[in-house]
Amino acid sequence: MKDKRILIINRGEIASRIAKAVNELGHISVGIWTDNEPNAPHLEFCQEWVHLAGSQNSETYLNEDAIIALIKKYKIDAVHPGYGFLSENGPFTKKLEDLGVIFIGPNAESMRKMGDKAISKTIAREAGIPVVPGSANAVESIEEAIEISNQIEYPILLKAVAGGGGRGMRVCENDQEVKDQFEVVKRESLAAFGYDGLLVEKYITNPRHIEVQILADKKGNVYHFFERECSVQRRHQKILEEAPSPFIGNDEELRQKICTTAVELTRVVGYDSAGTVEFIMDEDKSFYFLEMNTRIQVEHPITEEITGIDLIVCMIQAAFGEDLGIPDQKWITRSGHAIECRICAEDPITMLPAPGTVLGFEQNFPQGTRFDHCIFRGLEVTPDFDPMIGKLVVKGIVRSVAVRKMRTALDGLMIEGLKTNIPLQKVILRNENFINGNYSTSFISVEKPQEQVKTDLEHQEIYRKLACIEARKLGM
């Protein structure tokens, strides 16, 4: 099945990544350009470009009617959403199915079930899979939230039913904090996901965030590609990920148990694409189902590196009902250790977005490095989008080698003209507890690597002068 016209309704590095996979399979990659990104870097890899009028996300990447109009106008056969935007929008997926357009992701019904945190937890409970204690459904009022919070005991997490990416979450230590945060989280959830339903969930102190990559096809096959450790986070958003998990380590029985659990849950809902089943693992290595991301994840490259399998290519093949070429689960093996650092345009100390213009960009990496990015000299990073501008990935034969390679790769990545979190990543990679794999989701709050970021005024002045020279060259 070749020459299918596939519209990529995303931007940045993930749109580039998808376009490459589409081209490799012999299909036609169709990229989108908007009014505020007429020269978007991902278009370089797309065979055709189409214009989606507007400059706000609500006018472009979140505008279902406008996207459907493009699909009809340009005779699009399939759509790949990447992550974010409409990637986990069940009603949009259903609209495409009704149009006869292939959505490169899970079917609408399985997305509806697993994309709703309340429904997915109910399904998990019925399947005998342990879940984090909390409300079975969205809570309707502050009073109900407080009642449940006292039943499961503080601290608790107010959490959006829809969406992900760390948005729509607040930890509360007492009744007053629930009162203060309830409406705040509802507003944030509505703005981010179009739905303000909230769950109350027990907040497990110092947990590990472990997730399992799965892939299912339309023939009933479900495979896992082992686990990833995503515990280095700030504001419930991941900073650095690695595979396999250093906490699970050589405990193959535990690894098999958590991966098999993810497969069982995926099979129950008739899932038929790439996805990630996320778990919270306690200090005693008990694990609880957290949620399922019904899309490809930002951190999928580290899984590709340790398994040698292109997940985006497989995702496209699965959508078209093609054979994935995987004989059975035993055929999927892993080797080595991979680490991914998210490169973001943000202040390395406050960890807040820091928009700006890239005035200089150089890379000099060791062997075994992969850099998925959308960076070029002159790139304007605006507050309109997520501040992540690249994903730096390394692979080593063992974890210590991967850590060493990542340190070298970070030293070899130069992005001038705007603040990035590279200095913060460098501190993390030299933290003793990180080196020993002894960390949890409280790593940032406990170790405080942001406070160890050095401000070298002399070098800053040099970089400022270089940035001015580059700016003049660019006519800025």
Residues 270 and 162 in one domain: no
CA distance 6 to 4: 6
Q: Which backbone phi and psi does 275 adopt, to 5 degrees?
A: -170, 175
Task: Summarize pLDDT for 380-416 with one digit per residue, the tens.
Answer: 999 989 999 999 999 999 999 999 999 999 999 999 9
Find, among 414, 412, 397, 403, the residue nearest to 462 by Cα.
414
CA Rg, the chain, in Å? 22
Residues 198 and 213 in one domain: no
DSSP state of 451: G
Residues 283 and 311 in one domain: yes
Domain that holds residue 189: 133-202
Q: What global pTM score does this model have?
A: 0.88
Burial class (CB in 10 A: 0-12, 13-18, 19+), 141: exposed
Contact 52, 60 (CB under 8 A): yes
Task: Summarize pLDDT for 236-273 with one digit per residue, the tens.
Answer: 899 999 999 999 999 999 999 999 999 999 999 999 99
Q: How many CB atoms lie within 10 A of CB 322?
A: 15
Task: Tell me which residues are annotated as active site.
Answer: 295
Answer with the one of 154, 173, 202 that is the final residue of a domain.
202
The answer to whether position 419 is within a domain reads yes
Any bridge partners for residue 241, and if so which? 340
Above pLDDT 70, what percent of the chain?
94
Residues 240 and 173 in one domain: no
pLDDT at residue 280 is higher than 90: yes
Amino acid at 369: T
Residues 44 and 165 in one domain: no
The answer to whether position 128 is within a domain reads no
Residues 163 and 226 in one domain: no
pLDDT at residue 165 is higher than 90: no
Task: Summarize pLDDT for 46-68 with one digit per residue, the tens.
Answer: 999 999 999 999 999 999 999 99
